Structure 1
């Protein structure tokens, strides 16, 4: 299949000449394409009125709130896709939410003044997709924001590579790019605590000169 990351639906359709225009669905896309990309590519070519129950079940995890929103509004703008992603995420349909964060990214102007920011959408998609990130997607994220890409690379190393110390080296201070209190803070701290690095362990029994995070902080 051609570059799914950047391809328009016309380009994707060209890879499937045997499929009539307007009938391309995620089932017709190659199985080795990550699920979030298959759904993201297909959703933009399916009108709500034409969506089969099977399609809705697969794309929306049978979530009635998401299906209801889709039937009423469709998915043709960043706001539509972002709302669907948030509905699915809130309702614990995380993998399905990832696809719609990706749709929102695809529809995004990539302008640094267009909120939510493109890098936030793609980063959230990759984090929630439940698969090893596609390198093309990570590279696209890196071009938008290197710290967001480092965050994804680091979390991948920690979760799938079982190397939290290496993950910290990759992530560096990427958390500074995120608002305080966001999920990135929690995942970074979780990775740090799993790393076993002395700096992140309890202070008992340590020499006064050894660097450590204080057990109690006062503001």
Structure 2
């Protein structure tokens, strides 16, 4: 589709079959529902964007915006539709008209700041200038959404350090004193299957970490003893064991300091751990290939300013966004938001820069092994909750 074709986006009641034939999933939804209302255009636009058809997605989001009543009671809200059109254009490296940006500015200044800052960064890679424009625009979005990931990717240009400077030529036997306590925490609610039991035993055999494995009863009592009845209640109210593990992990690491490791992954070896993970920082986080912060493996000192922000966000989501997707509500989403908030305050001169490093997805898999876990297919997966 040629995005600028004359009058294309003003056409109504046309057949979009040819345009949508590039994406079978989008075409199927169109054939079932048509394109005569805001929700249909929004849903099909999201399908197109997910499949990287950004020009077509931008067209659909504009179509949805034009059909929108502009009432604050009609969802998605009109300023969200206009903003995600801009996002699609940015992702597809298409130009954004000044008048469209001005229209977004009139609808939502934080969304305007988000788009303009991101656009500037894509054009000149000046992270400081981009973040000065974006400010704390991520606060307008639920935790874990693309805005948090985009923001943290730009923040890395300012705050992250080359990890190779901290690990080059170093091994377990010659390693310097670690800043993060040598504790390793894991969790399984009850009756772990054989492959999980074997994984626990494997980490015990490593003989390096002070290993503590929580079950549900122990975790509930520990949260009550350390954080009170509110923490225990929210933990026991979790919709899925993965959500309960999410709730526990930030509290445990922030209390004791150390490393968290999910029960269904393993550290390859102590030598590999020390050859990749820098030991001179108060926090070590690892990223996926699309800038999601891993919460299945991370390390921190106790009473961390970053984890304190994560916990604050966690409680907010538990009360305000109870039905949110788990990864956004209690999982990696709270880590992306906690890091963004902490670094934004540093950028404003309102706090000391924390000692931390974020490693990339290749380094994650240099340290961590996945292994076959039949329980995932035998029980409800956390992504379905």
* TM-score greater than 0.5 by the shorter chain: yes
Instruction: Classify 1:169/1:61 alpha carbon distance in 2 versus 1 (closer, same or farther; 3 Å).
Output: farther
Question: Which aligned runs of 4 or more in structure 1 are off by greater than 6 angstroms?
Answer: none
1:175 equivalent in alignment to 2:175: no
- Of residues 41, 44, 47, the one that matches 2:10 is 41
Give the Å deviation of 1:113: 2.0
How big is the alpha-carbon RMSD for the aligned residues of Structure 1 and Structure 2?
A: 2.8
The residue correspondences of 1:9-48 to structure 2 (distance < 5 A) are 34=4, 39-42=8-11, 44-46=12-14, 48=15
Matches of 2:108 and 2:45, distance apart in 1: 21
Give the Å deviation of 1:189: 0.9
- Of residues 69, 80, 92, the one that matches 2:52 is 92
- Of residues 77, 101, 107, the one that matches 1:138 is 101
More strand by share: 2
What secondary structure is seen at the aligned counterpart in 2 of 1:160?
helix
Give deviations 1:36-84, integer Å, cap 9, x for gaps: x964323x241x3xx5xxxx44x22521222232233321110110121
1:213 equivalent in alignment to 2:182: no
TM-score, scaled to structure 1: 0.67
| Greater CA drift, 151-160 or 125-134 | 125-134
Q: For the pair shown, which has the larger CA radius of gyration, 1 or 2?
A: 2
Instruction: Classify 1:39/1:165 alpha carbon distance in 2 versus 1 (closer, same or farther; 3 Å).
Output: farther
1:110 equivalent in alignment to 2:73: no
Matches of 2:146 and 2:7, distance apart in 1: 26
Give deviations 1:124-164, integer Å, cap 9, x for gaps: 11111232321111111111110000100000000023322
- In the alignment, structure 2 segments of 5+ residues that lack a partner are 162-277, 282-350, 358-385
Instruction: Classify 1:34/1:159 alpha carbon distance in 2 versus 1 (closer, same or farther; 3 Å).
Output: farther
Matches of 2:138 and 2:10, distance apart in 1: 31
TM-score, scaled to structure 2: 0.40
Matches of 1:100 and 1:108, distance apart in 2: 12
| 8 Å CA contact 1:88, 1:97 repeated in 2 | yes
| 8 Å CA contact 2:21, 2:27 repeated in 1 | no
Give the Å deviation of 1:94: 2.6
Matches of 1:144 and 1:166, distance apart in 2: 23
Give deviations 1:179-211, integer Å, cap 9, x for gaps: 1111001101111112x2xxx235969xxxx93
